[in-house]
A and B are shown apart, each in its own frame.
Chain A
Amino acid sequence: MKSIAEIEEEIVDDFSLFDTWDEKYEYIIDMGKKLKPLEDEHKKEENKIKGCQSTVWMVSELKDGKVFYRAESDAVIVKGLVSMLIRVLSGHAPKEIIDAKLEFIDKIGMKQHLAQTRSNGLLSMVKQMKLDATVYQAKQE
């Protein structure tokens, strides 16, 4: 099992192949399209992440001491971004998720999506994922 930092590094490597913003977004859109859809039963108010111009639903579960996330959005780029977050954070212990620095977002040039919290909500997604991990961590103790 790779560490969070190692997966982050993989993504940064993937993005280093791209010369243009167009290519970066093509890649993100492609990942968004490939993200496994969330069942309709999960698309309810309490699973919505606030602070997004688009709607994001996210669910998580703790299995064998690891947190697994699944999510969906009505916007493809957001889906791509959330799919990267899932790739990085899903399947790790709560403590590792809480401590994750997620520097890859800056390194691949997507930091603007963190700053523009009102329209893009990447920050809200990260917060929600870490919050879930914190809850699981507390339950384990």
Chain B
Amino acid sequence: MTETLEHTAFDVQAIRQHFPVLNRVVKGKPLVYFDNAATTQKPQVVIDALADYYKNYNANIHRGIHSLAEEATAAYEATRDTVQQFINAQHREEIIFTRGVTESINLVAYTWARTNLKSGDEIIISGMEHHSNIVPWQLIGEMTGAILKVIPVNDNGELIMEEFYQLLSEKVKLVSVVHASNSLGTINPVKEIIDAAHKVGAVVMIDGAQSTVHLDIDVQELDCDFFAISSHKVYGPTGIGVLYGKRALLEAMPPFMGGGEMIKDVSFEKTTWNDLPYKFEAGTPNIADTVALKAALDFVSSIGKATIRQHEDALLKYATEQLQSIEGIRLIGTAKQKVSVASYVVEGVHPQDLGILLDNQGVAVRTGHHCTQPLMNRFGIPGTTRASFAMYNTKEEIDVMIAGLHKAIKLLR
């Protein structure tokens, strides 16, 4: 195992130097940050980009004629170009800035779904969705009479694809599934899902909250209709996200929110909408965080996702082996294809107790249902302890968690 890590050209200690927060001491111990699926830490370049914006060219964008406004507009729009390249979108106006994945999904729900769905239509989601990819569709279902159908999950935490094909029919108008599960790490076969859904004429939305940081995303190759991204899970700032949508669909959709920026002409009799992408970006946007998102994506690209993935996969493999050596531990999520998420339960031990005692060792993990209560019910558990790994994590940190687990379990049992 050690060999695999050493043989990569990847220098994790050099990477760690970019992340100031990793120098933190928690409860007298060096921080071990394993809550990356919740949010990743920020490299210095992102922090600098934020400060630089406010220090040097803070201005409201698009309408200003002065130099600062032009600089701010250029930086804001440069991020759009970077995102376009990052996910290989065909057109830059297919990139809509939102507050995050939750808003991206709600945007599609309240515009596309609300105007296109009618009573008796069906929406397919999966049994491993985050609440943010369940609740908006339930709300739209109540408004339109559309019915929610769920692809079940097997004991390994994989979608049962036979059941998905059973659910597919002409009635299905929308399929919205998560690319990689936040609770289990499972990578879903989204390409297969998208192709099959298109055959029955359904539109497909992919929740890329967890996948974008780990996997290469090519929306043209995937051929998905919508794809949602969260900045803060890709080493970027909080409060900013992306909705990718195919241009023809976005053009046909009504606006989500009304206000400044999203209009062409306003009179009390009639208002006309601005062109894409501005039609969906009402009001002054989150300029600073959008500008800094570019720094995060450039940082990831400069290291290379394939290199990062190799490191994270090695960490996941090592963590999985080490966890399995602990008596009474049960891994939740043993899919063949996984991103670097290790979720587990320990017999006779409540996840919350484990979380508190691991924090006491400086180890930050997430405990609970991870906003996927239906999935936890599927496994008959109230929640799990989840360790999720990022580019800056090390094998030694996993050793600290394992030692902490042994200590905690001994105390708690």
Contact = CB atoms under 8 A, between A and B. Distances in A.
B383 interface: yes
A54 B411 CA distance: 18
Number of chain B interface residues as a range: 10 to 19
Nearest to B29: A21
Chain A, interface residues (CB within 8 Å), range: 10 to 19
Contacts of A21: 27-28, 360
A78 interface: yes
A3 to B, nearest CB: 30
Interface string B159-171: 0000000000000
Contacts of A6: none
B367 A25 contact: no
A55 B28 CA distance: 30
A76 B412 contact: yes
A25 B359 CA distance: 12
B368 interface: yes
A38 to B, nearest CB: 16
Given A53-B368, A119-B368, A74 B350 contact: yes
A54 B350 contact: yes
A75 B353 contact: yes
B412 A29 contact: yes
B357 interface: yes
A77 B408 CA distance: 11
Query: Which of B355, B383, B411: most chain A CB closer than 10 A?
Result: B411
Nearest to A78: B352
Contacts of B353: 29, 75-78
Contacts of A22: 360
Interface in B333-386: 350-353, 355-357, 360, 367-368, 382-383
Contacts of B355: 119
Nearest to B357: A25
A124 to B, nearest CB: 14
Contact of B350 (A25, A26, A76): A76
A53 B367 contact: yes
Contacts of A75: 350, 352-353
A26 B411 contact: yes
A78 B360 CA distance: 15
B409 to A, nearest CB: 11
A120 interface: yes
B383 A53 contact: yes
A25 B356 contact: yes
B131 to A, nearest CB: 14
Interface string A28-43: 0100000000000000
A78 B355 CA distance: 12
A76 B360 CA distance: 15
A25 B352 contact: no
Contacts of A53: 351-352, 367-368, 383
Nearest to A29: B411
B288 to A, nearest CB: 28
Contacts of A25: 356-357, 360, 411
Interface in A1-23: 21-22
A120 B368 CA distance: 11
Contacts of B368: 53, 119
A22 B403 CA distance: 14
Contacts of A55: 382
Nearest to B28: A21
A56 to B, nearest CB: 11
Contacts of A74: 350, 382
A21 to B, nearest CB: 5
A76 B351 CA distance: 10
Contacts of B351: 53
Among A26, A75, A119, find the residue whose CB has the most chain B CB atoms closer than 10 A: A75
A112 B353 CA distance: 14
Given A119-B355, A120-B352, 14 more contacts: A21-B28, A21-B360, A26-B411, A29-B353, A53-B367, A53-B383, A74-B350, A75-B350, A75-B352, A75-B353, A77-B352, A77-B357, A119-B367, A119-B368
30 contacts: A21-B27, A21-B28, A21-B360, A25-B357, A25-B360, A25-B411, A26-B411, A29-B411, A29-B412, A53-B351, A53-B352, A53-B367, A54-B350, A54-B352, A55-B382, A74-B350, A74-B382, A75-B350, A75-B352, A75-B353, A76-B350, A76-B353, A76-B412, A77-B352, A77-B356, A77-B357, A78-B352, A119-B352, A119-B355, A119-B368
List 9 tightest A-B contacts by C-beta distance, closest first: A75-B350, A75-B352, A54-B352, A53-B352, A77-B353, A53-B368, A21-B360, A75-B353, A76-B353
